[in-house]
Structure 1
Amino acid sequence: MRYLCAVYLEPKSMEKLSPAEGATLDRDSIAYDDELRRSGHYIVSDALQRATTAKTLRVRNGKLSVTDGPFAETKEQLGGFILVEASNMDEAVELASKIPMAKYGTIEVRPIMDLSSKSKS
């Protein structure tokens, strides 16, 4: 089963990292992706640019509304994701606990809904 590991972080706490600490975190994150590939759990991952670069859109009654930034004003913002293959939620949580960003932010683990089986009914 596939699980999304959504990585949330506080931008201010990330800004406090020294350049060396940031480089180490990047290196550790890439190394963990490689470890997940070798073990067969890795599907895809990526880091996101700052939330201030985002656009949020809504379509209501056929009318498009676009605003700058993320939908919610929160301390923690979505910073990236890793999509993994795991046998169950316990294994997915174990994999997510080793994501280097977990030391600085929050990881949400959520099962992926299989819509392909719903469309066949």
Structure 2
Amino acid sequence: MAAKLSQKWIDLFNATRKRFQNEIADIPIANKAYRLRVLDRMATNAEKMKNYGMTSQLIEQAAKEMGDAYTNKHKFEHSGPNGGAIQTITMSKEEYKSARQEMMEDDDC
């Protein structure tokens, strides 16, 4: 898609992105390590006060932070049985049609 954009728009995008990254670097809470340090400090204090419910919530929040629960990133693992390769089969169009028909007629599907 970028190949279709004029250089003017590419330069604007790059400048805007650089400015955003520089500005966000100045905000401590935007940094994952900072957020985890704060959560750790809070959890330690909550545990010292024997506030185990709050401690549990803070630990859960830290786990979510580590698992990117607060981002739009998705992690997918694609593998076959026992982590091996996914089995693939090459077949002709006729073989595919026959296998598909067999599956459609099968009561288990």
Q: Give the structure with the higher percent strand.
A: 1
Structure label with greater radius of gyration: 2
The answer to which structure has the higher helix fraction is 2
TM range (shorter): under 0.3
> If the length of structure 2 is used for normalisation, what is the TM-score?
0.26
Relative contact order, higher structure (CA 8 A, sep 6+): 1
